[in-house]
Chain A
Amino acid sequence: MTAKQTPLYETHLRYGGRIVEFGGWLLPVQYTGIKEEHQAVRKRAGLFDVSHMGEVRVTGANSLNFLQNLVTNDVSRLANNQVLYTPMCYPNGGTVDDLLVYKKRDKDYLLVINAANIEKDFEWMQSCTQDFDIKLENISTQMAQLALQGPLSQQILGKITSVPLSKLKYYWFWPDIEVAGKKVLLSRTGYTGEDGFEIYCSPEDAVPIWNSILEAGTSEGILPVGLGCRDTLRFEACFPLYGHELSSDISPIEAGIGMFVKLDKGDFIGCEVLRKQKLNGTARKIVGFEMVDRGVARAGYSVTQADREIGTVTTGSYAPSLDKNLGLAFIKSDHAKLGQAIAIQIRDKNVSAQIIAKPFYKREGK
């Protein structure tokens, strides 16, 4: 399969983006450098092209019931213009994907899903429609998406829109507003651990909006930022990444995001298994760790204790904001106590590490 280009592909090249293939898409992993871009988002602002993300529209009389059955979080508590983060599970509790649910109005929802999972998710959703009077549309190709993230995001975006951004609360959105003179859906969401906005627009408006935001943010020191720092940012905040901390083999309870599994909302796919896991605990769980000895843990490396394998690293990296080598691992729960000494097998050597609390990074006031 040939890798796909977002509407901003040429723009990335012009800005010096180093292009890699990610989930079937050609996207910049970095422009100037991951560390510099990471710090720009933590301290000022960074602009991501996240047009590869998938969008599915759900409409029809039974939309709410369909979604309540499909995902683990409680969609009924959404007001119009509100956003919900939720896992979506298989009957055995394994995770199909994690996604955002945008409620536009009654019987009209927008789901935002991971790029690499678009086809799988859409097929899964379709297989769950039989009892519901709804319409599902994969509108991924009709939408581009930008993410403006960082503490100065509101200040920058305020220059190119007349809407009062300070009134847009975290995890809320406005469906039809103008940014840089183009009609967009604007939400106060993101996956970096910082304040910020996500902007959904038509593909032909992506380039002018991108350019306007970068121009507006020049004096604030905004940078175009790539997927490399998107990963280090979400990793420091300990947000799970599908294919790493969440998968068909890892349930949301095991991943440590049980707060997004609402067992009191009525039946949903996976609820029996997830209820047992919440009640009895799980045999394995995702933990955070810090390297004690020198070395960088990477996804897939074995985690051991007293020379016995107890699990696997799901993400490991240098953490730029904390200047430490940290990791997340899926390990046996009996070995998951805070402070516990573990070892990471790095190139046939056992390198010491220690289990530490999550998240590694939390922005001030949060």
Chain B
Amino acid sequence: MNIPKELKYSKDHEWVAVEGNLATIGVTDFAQSQLGDVVFIELPDEDRVVTAGEAFSVIESVKAVSDVYAPVSGKIVKVNQALEDAPDWVNQDPYHDGWIAVIELTNDSEIDSLLSNEDYERVVAAEGGHQ
């Protein structure tokens, strides 16, 4: 399972890449492997204001519907429109081409409560016991 060191994580299996006051969000390699073949992504509207923990996007795989939760609060300033035509980027390249949205942070301190790669690895180990 690929869990890059330089990223932060939520226990809901989103990754966060912070640059200045912008946070790029996607779902983790573990999440995409659990979802299976992704066939559709409902992207949020740009300019939508979200609160940490709020469902802001929906990923549909062949068999399942899953919410994506905002790991941090802020305004959505950019969404990955390419996923409309190529939702399987989430499977193929979850940390790069499979990014979902960029959020402009309203509360920097939320970043500190996200998980490190090591903490997230423990979450995956606990949930992945049956895989």
Contact = CB atoms under 8 A, between A and B. Distances in A.
Interface of A: 18-19, 29-30, 33-35, 228, 231-232, 294-296, 298, 317-318, 320, 325, 347
B130 A19 contact: yes
B7 interface: no
Nearest to A18: B131
Nearest to A298: B65
A30 B36 contact: yes
Given A296-B60, A347-B42, A35 B65 contact: no
Contacts of B61: 34
Nearest to A34: B62
Nearest to B55: A347
A325 B42 contact: no
Contacts of B131: 18
Top 10 nearest A-B pairs by Cβ distance?
A318-B39, A34-B62, A35-B37, A296-B60, A296-B40, A33-B37, A228-B63, A34-B37, A318-B62, A34-B36
A228 B39 CA distance: 14
A35 to B, nearest CB: 5
17 contacts: A19-B130, A29-B63, A30-B36, A33-B36, A33-B37, A34-B36, A34-B37, A228-B62, A228-B63, A296-B65, A318-B37, A318-B40, A318-B62, A320-B62, A325-B39, A325-B40, A347-B58
Nearest to A347: B58
Contacts of B65: 296, 298
A41 B61 CA distance: 19
Interface string B51-94: 00000001011110100000000000000000010000000000
Contacts, number: 41
A318 B63 CA distance: 9
Contacts of A18: 36, 131
A300 to B, nearest CB: 11
Interface residues of B, number: 14
Nearest to B61: A34
B31 to A, nearest CB: 14
Contacts of B84: 294
Given A18-B131, A19-B130, A294-B84, A34 B63 contact: yes
B130 A317 contact: no
Contacts of A228: 36, 62-63
A183 B62 CA distance: 37
Contacts of A30: 36
B62 A35 contact: yes
A228 B61 CA distance: 11
A285 to B, nearest CB: 26
A33 B63 CA distance: 11
A296 B36 contact: no
Contacts of A231: 63
A318 B40 CA distance: 9
Nearest to A29: B63
B14 to A, nearest CB: 19
Residue from A231, A294, A296, A347 having most chain B Cβ neighbours under 10 A: A296
A200 to B, nearest CB: 28
B83 to A, nearest CB: 11
Contacts of B62: 34-35, 228, 232, 317-318, 320
Contacts of A318: 37, 39-40, 60, 62
Nearest to A35: B37
